[in-house]
Structure formats: structure tokens, C-alpha cells
Structure 1
């Protein structure tokens, strides 16, 4: 039903041509492409349109690509998912208005899906993560997803997806379709009836503080925890500075986590929604989170990254994906992996993506990419997650 191709080359045309050769003459009906950020979007589009004239496509930039044949985040990688069976080809909705309002763009996408999709449809959402490069501002996935859910008007779908980046430094992002590559785009791919997705979320953080209350917050910026400057509290708890001497750089030392359900239930990593700290302001004592969906009055904990727990979670998640594949009808394993989990960022001795590709069922086509944010079903409701890996097993079960 699908074919996978992966290549790495400093020349865009050479990388694309290598992918084309791996399809062995098969004419795809639809393409999803993930391209490292050292390839210009326009060049990727030109090469694909030349190789496959008239074929619809989706996808965009990726901080890296993960395949069974190899993986990397040099920016030179390109991965293709080529759909060859009409029974699993998704329909594509494109919105290029994220810069005018993320929630409104999400609502428009939700209304489109509500009008065109069947109940329970499997939906893949991809979007350009970066709104402005300097000073860095992201397109918040929480606003997009909230708008999308509102636009659905109660229709239930299986939503998963991720944010697109050009590199590990959050420098830029772009999406691609049959008309070209562009910034500030949102894509929604709706799979036909009969396609279902089983998802496993891979974590790797532990709480290192008691519960604290957000006592002052504006948007994604947390000013106070329990009445003290948030930056002071977090650095005191960790006994480490955040974000370098000026505090402006992305930090992957810790996240803020919000436990769902009973806060006093035994620890389970799957109960937490964690938010990466995008930067800190030493003048105001605040920290800025990846998403603006935490609120004043919320109970949160400081969560520390745990590389050993990350690998343990990966193995459990891959085992769950393999169990889903064993049910039959699996035609694609897709991995959406937070770019912050690569060893270049965590200092881990093993790449967790390598563990995934080593343990996953190789009888099912597989492709993944390094993302900015992961969108996954969580407690009955799809929402953005940070510092996670999302394994989605797509099955055709008419």
C-alpha cells in the first residue's frame, strides 16, 4: 500500500533522485515528504514535480529524518512515503493563514474535516512551527488544535501530527504541496474510512519537585510559581542555570509538567503533559513555554529529563506498536519524534531513534521525522505534547 524511500545528499536533486530510484518504477498516487532544512523547499518541490508530474504531495521541512535504512539530523536527509493503493490515500486540506491567527486557521481546518470526513476518521496534522525567527516566536500548536476541535463541532476523529522545523535550533519551517513550498502553512490529511491509527506516546521525564501553583502568567510566559519568580524557583530546584548566561536559549534540562487526573495517584509518566522551556528572562524572572495552554492557578511540577527512562519508554512504546501491527492490516509505522530528544541535545549515549528502528517490526513500512511539537490522543482528547515521541501504526481494516 505504501513504499518508503530515504536518502542523504548535499544536492537536493541527487537526494530526490535516489529516493525515486528506491521506488523501482512504482508510480505513486500521493506523496508525503520530509526534508532536512539544508534543502530549500522550492528545490525539493521542483525535483519531486519533475520526477512525479501531477502527483499530489504533502509534508515539509524536518529537523531530521528517521528510516529503517538510516537516520540523521544533518539537514541533508530526505524521506518519502509513497502511497500506491487508493484505499489508503488521504485527502489533503491546506491552510496558509497561520500568521493571521492560529486558532482561526485550526477552526477552518476543523470545519472542512467535519463536512467531509466520516466519524472516527484518522487525521494527520502537519504545520510550520516557526512564526518569527528573531526574536523567536512559534505557531502554538495548542491554539491550532483548540481551533480544530472547535471547528469539528463535536465530530470525533483520530488526530495525530507534528510541527515542522528546518533544524534543531528552531530556525525556520515550511510546508510543501503540489503548488510549492511555503511558510506559515497548516495541512490536514484525512484518511479514508477503514484506516485506523493506534498510537503510543514515548516519554522520558520524572518530577523533581512537589506540586506548585502558577500564580502569574501571560500567554506562554510564566512569571511566578507559588508567588516567587518562576526562573528563581526552577533554578533553585535544579541547582543549575537555565538557557545560558542570558537565559534566552532553549533549555532541555527541564520542563514544566501538569499531571492529568488525580494529582495524588501513583506516578505514571503517561499522566503528564510536559512543556519545554523555550527561554527565560532574567530581568522579569520569567520562563516562556513552548505552548500557552497552561493557566494561572494550575498545579505543575518541575520535570527533569531522564535519558534512561526515555529509552525504557521507547522500548515499551515500540512493543505496543508491534502488538498493533500483529493485529493485521498494518501498512505504515510513522514516528514523530521531538527534535530535543536527539543525543546531540540530551547527551545520551544512544540515539533513541536508533532504538526505535532496531526494535520496530520491519515487516511494516516505517518513516519518521524530528519535530517541534507532537500532537497525540491523550486522555480521550488530542493535544500537543513536548519532549515526546509519537509512534502511530496505521492499519487498513475495512
Structure 2
């Protein structure tokens, strides 16, 4: 069947880009447990809180709940399909974070440097070629929930600590700006990949706010039905404590806390993840003032415990797909028709994070079971791996014997 499609591309009956998009979509929708695995021999038995791939989609950076980080090489140069994604770099026990790592992130367009932040209040800049100690270290004196580096400038980092957002320029080594205080505690920050001055912040109360850092006197607050342009609140400190005077109340994007958000590659859409009775994923259109929410999907039940959740987005496929955690599994969400397509099962404990490799159509998920699971939709490679392994060890195995995704149940939106 694939050979016939290739002949159509060669004959001009099908555009190459349409073929590439269709193949990416097919592989992504067919995700299942990969036969390859991530080497865990050098990793402590602690939960994985954050994952990130570098600009080449080769090196996988993982942050652990014990304050340590690890770098795995995902490429295979062994000329054999039976291989492990080896741990090639790890932090020193004397220099890692003293508490759980909340975010790990490679610098944009540079796989030689990365940043980590944790609940000990420190933001650390690391050189991958000299990982003995951090190149630079910033003390925010409050637990850091999330940080994100501006993908356009590459030097300004937005840090969310203690309910406030500070902008740090690593070229001068200090904080250059502090966003005005809002009503709710800020929990997530994300830069627009196409607009270097646009910063989205999300709060524990379900507020979604767009700041233009060039002028912080006004901001946009996103709600389900509208976008409201408001002036920043005036904060006064007196003998009676801190009082806030604002002309308008903040709109709510989610009824519960917003735990994660991701932009599409063109910066025109935003995907948010929160929990309000059920797990909730929403799709937002940037730059519109009426009906900015163009899709809402509710599934599963709210997590009983607290976690540092992070979603993965595949927007180079049709339909756009969001990979969201659901207890011990990952739900594949179709954000065009707003439906849960299937559930990826493989972890034994709560799933915290997911990262999508758009170049090779693979996924990596981390959870409290201290494992990083590889998800792949290339059935040809997986079948070849099983056949080679069966021939090598003289046993019979089938690709069908691997863990398969199960259909998602209990999707009633009205069920609380």
C-alpha cells in the first residue's frame, strides 16, 4: 500500500508535503510501546518530573524528583535494533538541586547548554561539555514552579517563583523585569515562539493572561467566551496588609488550576491542561476577542495526588494531537474533533510529563515509577526488531504481544 502511495507522489498525483503529513499522522496515531528502551542503570529510583529534547531531537534531558538530571542519547549507531538509549551525562551528587526539579530545558538552537530549576528556589545554567558545576546560578528564594527561555532571543528566561514572574537576562546575569502582581498565584509561563515580547502566564485559579513585556500597563485575560483587555491591578501595602484594586475581575480559562500549556509551532494556537473534577484540555486561538476557546476535551478523573504535569503537542499532523497524563497512562487527544482517541498504557505509577519528537515521530513519557518509556508508531521497524530478536535467541515473538493501547472509557462530560 505504501509503495502505491509513493508511486502517486512520483507521478505527480500527490504532493510530497501531503504524503509526509499523512505518514506523520499515521505513525503518531499508531503509537504503542517501542521495542527500544531507555537505559536506567545509572539513574536513581526516583520519579521523573520533566523531559526535554534538544534542537536536533537527539539528546533527551530528564529531571528527577531527587534533584538530579540525566542526558540520554536517543540515536542508534550500533547497527542493531536491539539497543538501549544510553545515559551519556549526569549531574554530580554534590552540585545537583537539593529538592525536586520542576523544569529542565535545552537552550534554543544550542545543544551545548541547558537550564534546570527546582523547588529549592534555584535556577541553574549548565554547560553540557563541563557538567561538574553550573555555569551560573540564580537564587529566587521561593520554590520555582516553571521557567521558560524565550525561543526568539534565546537569552531571556521567564521564571515563575513564589507566585511572581521575573524575567532574567543571562547575558547580564540578573533580573531585568518583574511582571505586575495579579490576583491568583502564577504557576505556568510560556513564550510565544513567533513573538518575542508575548508571554502567556497561567495561575492556580485557572486564569490565562497574555502579557506584552514591552508595556505591562495592560494585559489580555482569556475566558471561554471572550478576551478582555484590562489594566494592571494596583497593589497597595498598608497597615491592614496588601490590598488590590482592579477595574475588572479576571476571567477564568479553567475552573481549576492550569498545570501546563504549549503553543503550536506557528504561535497562532495555545493548548492548556488543567484539572477541575475531570482532566481538561483546551485549544485557544490567539489574537481573537470573541470565542477564543475553539475546543474543550474532558476525560478521566482528577488526580488524587499532586504532580508536576506537562503535556506534549503534535501540531504537524492532521488532526493536531495533545498527549496528556491520566493517572498511570497517557491519553491521545484529538483536538480537532475534541475526543480522546486512545490510551497509552505502560507506567506503573502516575505519569508526570510527555515530550513529542516531531522529526522521528516518537514519544517519551516519564512518571513516578522512575521510568522513561519510548512510544513509537513505526510498525515496520518494530516488526523487524522482533524478527531479528526471535532469530537471535531462537524464540517466537510477535509485535502483537507488546502492550497495546486500550480504548478510553468513562468520557461523559456531564459526569462530575
TM-score (normalised: structure 1): 0.26
More contact order relative to length (CA 8 Å, sep ≥ 6): 1
Q: Which structure has the bigger radius of gyration?
A: 2
**Greater fraction helix:** 1
**Greater fraction strand:** 2
